[in-house]
Amino acid sequence: MSTDEIRAIELLGRVSYGRVATSMRAMPFVAPARHIVTDGRVLLRMHRGLGYHRACNGSVVAYGADNFNSGARKIWSVQFTGTAEIVEPTEEELAAFGPEPRAVDDEPFEPVYMRIEPQFVTVHELDYSAGHPAESADRPVELHSTDHSTDHSAEHPVDHPLDHSLERHLHHVA
């Protein structure tokens, strides 16, 4: 396993959800999925009722996850690209997924599981702590909300210019 693959797997283990992307009837789509990493492969749990698993099964997909909403000064994004196949997870894998959602779009959740055999892995890291030695890289960044119903000025009296550049960057990334 390459250094990037090891790093991507370590980062992916920090979050529970990501997005799987492929095409259906020649149109691209992205769908949310719960994931675990087992034996160097990504195992996804999706809702069968949406039918996305049919487009993914046997196809090349990309699965990405990130910590964009974490508030961290070191933002990362990973992507696993490879062939997906529907599988039956082991009891240990089912336990690792944890509880299932009750419903998806107001219909009962029915799980389907897919394994991605990665052909290549990418890791991107955006370090917003560089150039600011007085600031800790692990200190969360307060992203400014458009909800002005609560006054947070007492909690964060100083408006840091880095916060605005991060907000602008994440707006363009999303």
pTM metric for this prediction: 0.71
Is the pLDDT score of 53 beyond 90? yes
Instruction: Provide mean pLDDT across the span 10-31.
Output: 92
Is the pLDDT score of 158 beyond 70? no
Is the pLDDT score of 84 beyond 80? yes
Give the separation between CA 67 and CA 75, rounded to whole angstroms.
Answer: 6
Tell me, what's the pLDDT at 43? 96
| 112 or 169, which is more confident | 112
Give me the residue label for tokens 């880095």. Answer: 162
Which of 96, 121, 122, 109 minimizes the C-alpha distance to 43? 96
Tell me, what's the pLDDT at 41? 85
Give the separation between CA 105 and CA 90, rounded to whole angstroms.
Answer: 27
Is the pLDDT score of 137 beyond 70? no
Give the separation between CA 68 and CA 173, rounded to whole angstroms.
Answer: 9
